Structure 1
Amino acid sequence: MPEIREYELFEIREPVSQTIPFVYNSPHSGRIYPPEFIAQSRLEGISIRRSEDHYVDELFSAASLLGAPLLLANFPRAYLDVNREPYELDPRMFDGLLPPYANINSLRVAGGLGTIPRIVAENMEIYARRLPVQEGLDRVESIYIPYHAALRRLIARTHVQFGFGVLIDCHSMPGNVRVAGSNARPDFIIGDRYGTSASADLSRTAISILEEMGFTAIRNKPYAGGFITEHYGRPARGLHALQIEVNRAIYVDEGTLEKHTDFPLIVNAVTGFMRQMASYVDQFATDTALAAE
């Protein structure tokens, strides 16, 4: 695989000075598709883009203006998914044997959505043929590992500076997602791994802010948070991780990927949400529900 320099893989949009104990992360909004990847794929055009969290980096772009760093991927999720374990790999995708430390039996691998995905949304196969094992391992080494190293540095720095930290992992979800047992469509879903990755007060506050803004917001179902939320959320140590899913139907045409005319209004709403979350955390910064015990 051609060498890709780190600054081309992802961006860290830093504030002039970090003034709030938040780190924002957008791991699935990347839309720079390596030419060699396109050559390997049986998909093209909009089809290959179905797994993107469309424009989520733009929805949360005000993070640095509010005083928090924003980490965002430039590489697409279909090429490599950093919201997985580093080696959740499907042996059916590769020529050759995977190393013994690869997790080949996870539910995500079985569903085609491992660290190197086999499908994009709507169950469309990405590759026309098998990949060399070494290429898969190279993607992990050259992209996944540097990305998570950057994320860990931001979280650690925030924790040291403020005594605690809040990671907001930013995603989008398909417009056809419905609340279980009803036809209600949530505009936002807040995931905290069923209370294990963040303070319950923090999750409830996020839901309350969104509802007061007029949105439908629910907690954990059907998206409770992925590897990033689970891996970095350590509430007992003062490290909280929330996943936020934004319903794509409220800001983009999922067929054409064209932004709705009121896209700026959704950006403003998300900015307001970030501002109110920062205000809440500032007010209760010494609360043992947020700070490390």
Structure 2
Amino acid sequence: MATHPPEPPVYARLGQIGARSPLVIAVPHAGRLYPPEMLALARLPQHALETIEDRHADLLVADAVQAGAVAIVARMARACIDLNRDEREVDPVLLGEPVGPGVLLTSAKVAGGLGVIPSRIAAGGAVWARPLGRGEIERRMAEVHRPYHAAIAQAMDEAAATHGVAILIDCHSMPPLGGRNGTARLVVGDRHGRSAESRFVAAAIEAAKREGTAVAHNHPYAGGHTLDRHGAPRAGRHAIQIEVDRSLYLDAMLRTPTDGIARMRQLIAVIAAALEDEARGYLLAAE
């Protein structure tokens, strides 16, 4: 029987051994592990750092995993390292030394303090008491970022080898959009068409609408590094991002799960099933 090596404590691989489904789910921002050594470097207390979590988004995927999907779920807190950012999206202030041109990636996320290692957050400003330095940054990449993405890649490889196609859902939660975007409660992103064929995006959107959920496409969230890294439509690897309104499954403080979690678990499972159905049609069309 095929086995996987013991998983590191920074992520969990959920689902049975082997690819029962072409579907892989990633959950990068729901980690609640705050190691003491990390907190010792932080200027802010843990309750402030928790504000950038996708609070309890890991609970959303349980029904889809039960139905056959594999899920790679981050355990490490987003405040320690953001797994939906490129390794080079580092705020130079965290290095504490000059950096040559072309070494780092600049982006709006980095400028806003939310690079691969968050440097500033709305709940309190600067995250760290002093620059972390290259050694600490590299340690987090080697121990957390790379193993997490290697696990996604392995699961995608297994799905593609077994089913002829692999589909990734990068699962997130978002604050309520309010009056923006037609009060959408779920946003499907595909990097504006670059990370998945349109048929898979349409299948996800239509499935959510059938469940009575207002959906937006790419706005205000089009997806990030995970889709760029693992989506390769021409190679039969399709990746979409799903953002779920937290108020649909958390209390008024957006911290504690409510009875709404059952409906959201069902919603993600319905979307997953629709993507599997679309995968079968995709393979028939390719024959």
Q: Give me the TM-score of the superposition, normalised by structure 1.
A: 0.88
2:172 counterpart of 1:171: yes
The alignment partner of 1:225 has SS state of: coil
Taking only aligned residues, the RMSD between alpha carbons, in angstroms, comes to 2.2
Note the alpha carbon deviations across 1:200-228, whole angstroms, 9 max, x for none.
Answer: 11111111110111000110001011011
Q: Contact conserved, 1:225 with 1:242, CA < 8 A, in 2?
A: yes
Amino acid at match of 2:166: G
Aligned to 1:157: 158
In structure 2, the CA distance between the partners of 1:133 and 1:100, relative to structure 1 (3 Å rule), is farther
Trace 1:1-293 onto structure 2 (pairs within 5 A): 7-15=8-16, 17-97=18-98, 102-121=103-122, 124-176=125-177, 178-180=179-181, 184-253=182-251, 255=253, 257-288=255-286
Q: Contact conserved, 1:29 with 1:57, CA < 8 A, in 2?
A: yes
Amino acid at match of 2:87: P
Q: Give me the TM-score of the superposition, normalised by structure 2.
A: 0.90
The alignment partner of 1:95 has SS state of: coil
In structure 2, the CA distance between the partners of 1:116 and 1:68, relative to structure 1 (3 Å rule), is same
In structure 2, the CA distance between the partners of 1:217 and 1:65, relative to structure 1 (3 Å rule), is same
Deviation at 1:85, TM superposition (A): 0.9
CA distance in 2, matches of 1:287, 1:86: 37
In structure 2, the CA distance between the partners of 1:143 and 1:100, relative to structure 1 (3 Å rule), is farther
CA distance in 1, matches of 2:280, 2:14: 22
Deviation at 1:97, TM superposition (A): 4.4
Amino acid at match of 1:213: E
How many residue pairs end up in the alignment?
282
CA distance in 1, matches of 2:94, 2:252: 28
In structure 2, the CA distance between the partners of 1:9 and 1:260, relative to structure 1 (3 Å rule), is same
Identity of counterpart residues, as a percentage?
Answer: 31
Structure having the higher helix fraction is 2
Unaligned 5+ segments in structure 2 are 1-5
Q: Contact conserved, 1:29 with 1:52, CA < 8 A, in 2?
A: yes
Deviation at 1:104, TM superposition (A): 4.6
Unaligned 5+ segments in structure 1 are none
